[in-house]
Structure 1
Amino acid sequence: MDQNLENLKFPIGKFQEPEIITTEHLKNWIEVIKHFPERLKSATADLNEEQLQKQYRPNGWTIKQVVHHCADSHMNSLIRFKLTLTEDTPTIKPYLENLWAELSDAKDYPIESSLKIIEGLHEKWVVLLTHLSGQELEREFIHPENKERISLKKNIGIYAWHCQHHLAHILIARQS
């Protein structure tokens, strides 16, 4: 992939896990997750249907697909957190996000339902995240695609990055 397309695919870069995840990292990441719904709503508030069909890169998703993807992805993440908190190192179920983005609810349906899902889900998610103990933050799940063990504290960082990553996609698409 050429550098320009790579920059469009990862406009804020790839997630970089700190060597040591501090309470300050966690606090900042949870704030990003907390404010994502309002930032997403603001980034899409004045867009018409034609604008929602803009892509952030050639052969990339439309703004509409990105919004619906965030609802799908963040629902899956909340479930993964709960499984990890209630089971012993569960192996999570991955999903084929590219195929989900091609379903009618992601391509053809207005974004308002996903914005509502994200708003309620993030409110609930932030309550859970802010009440995790140090021991709970260390709990891990296994991602079956690469057998990686991912701690909840790392996953908070991944999803803060995910929020910022897709907001950047929307802002790029808006400018195209």
Structure 2
Amino acid sequence: MSLRGVDLAEIPEETARVARAVFPKGCLAMRIRDVLGPVFADADFEELFPARGRPVISPARLALVSVLQFAEGLTDRQAAHAVRSRLDWKYALSLELTDTGFDFSVLSEFRARLVEADADRALFDAVVTAAGEAGLVKAGKRQRTDATHVLAATRDLNRLEFVVETLRAALNEVAEAAGD
């Protein structure tokens, strides 16, 4: 498979017009595209693909599909279907309205290629860099990069469940001892 560069900078005119008519206030995928712009370029993935062979699907598009897939919690099949059928994704990916998308298996192959080449971190770094340039992430500020807050919330919920269960057990004992 060989890499043939695709320009994601320009959104097809008809796609942009229809997307703006359907989503006048925008939506997640469109905002990602509007705020971050084309985050990835095929040139970023050159070393992952040989110069000869059949053309591959744009890795820049596949990278953005992976980001959108994660943001919406979709499976590979659902993400491939979204590329084929959703107007907001076509807008974000700079696709023509008539684009038929790709088979879902391409996503797992792309991820495997990223992991094999140890390039998965570059994908994350590109998103963080674009978010920083767009002013969404401030340098030098306190950033939450771990799950400490999630664990703390879970701990609080567990304690509440313990109290509820203790109260239920106590009421059951009282009901058995006191009868009516």
TM-score by length of 1: 0.24
Ranked by relative contact order (alpha carbons within 8 Å, sequence separation 6 or more), the top structure is 1
Determine which structure has more spread, i.e. the larger CA radius of gyration.
2
Higher share in strand: 1
